[in-house]
Amino acid sequence: MVMWAVLYYLPFYFEGVLGYSFIISSVGLLPLTLVVSPSAVVTGVLITVTGRYRVFLWSGWVVTVLGFGLMIKLGLGTSIAQWIFLTLPGGLGTGMILSSMQIAVQAASRDEDVAVTVAMVPELRTFGQALGLAIFGSVFSNTVRSKLGDIPSSLADPSLVARLGSDPIQLVEVIRHTADGPLKEELKRAMWLSTRAVWIAGLGFYAVSAIASLAARHYDLNKVLSSEHKVKKEKPATEAI
């Protein structure tokens, strides 16, 4: 839920608050996304070597909660170096969680249920994507409406505020085409506080999940896989007489 919300709303922050172009805003996701796969691979290797997954699951949640908490520090004048290091830990923790969680659910399942378990994890992630965008979309939209309502009528036409309140996605384009001045600063502030509200709400979900992960049990990873799927051995062809 939270991972997809970050990937969806972080470009809004880059475009609407920092004034980046669409392409540069997409590039801005790289510090967060590029480290996910290497982190997951390293975590998987360490779990294979040590035979323990709970410590990496818990460590991943700690890093993720810390990283997402740092994203709340993204502000109106955040520099490139700052937002790179503020978004990087979240990607590291996410990679650790994705790898260790996949192994944990397989270790906890019965041999005959491993195939279903493996398929269940990406299925739940897909469901979380749809659910997360709905939940955090409401957080974003409601915060935009609230903050736009605080703009004095002397700065913004009430009809403009009403239009943006019903379609907050257009706020990025309005900010881009608004001349520098008090109105543009107020619009940028509304976008900043709205994305920040998404980070805060997501941090709550992450904190609850981190606490729930403490109940994870240890299962021995060194076990024989018992499966009904067998590879048939071909009989050697007999020589023709």
Tell whether 226 is covered by a domain: no
Q: Is the pTM of this model over 0.95?
A: no
Note the pLDDT tens digit of each residue in 27-68: 889 988 899 989 999 998 998 888 888 999 999 999 999 988
Of the candidates 160, 177, 11, 23, the residue with the CA atom closest to the CA atom of residue 83: 11
Q: What is the chain's mean pLDDT, rounded?
A: 84
Q: Residue 234: inside a domain, yes or no?
A: no
Residue 127 belongs to domain spanning? 2-215
In a domain, 221, yes or no: no
What does the H/E/C string look like for 122-141? Answer: HHHHHHHHHHHHHHHHHHHH
CA 80 – CA 52 distance, rounded (Å): 37
**CATH code, 56:** 1.20.1250.20
**What was the pLDDT predicted at 231?**
61
pLDDT digit string, tens, across residues 74-84: 998 889 999 99
| Six-digit token string for 65 | 């909660």
Residue 241, in any domain of the structure: no
Asked if residue 227 belongs to a domain, the reply is: no
Asked, for residue 220, whether it belongs to a domain, the answer is: no
Number of domains into which the chain is organized: 1
Phi, psi of 189 (to 5 degrees): -65, -40
**Structure token digits, residue 79:** 């520099």
Task: Flag whether 160 is in a domain.
Answer: yes
Q: Please provide residue 152's backbone torsions phi and psi, each rounded to the nearest 5 degrees.
A: -60, 145
**2-16 vs 114-148: helix axis angle to the nearest 10?**
30
Is 147 inside any structural domain?
yes
- Max Cα distance, the chain (Å): 102
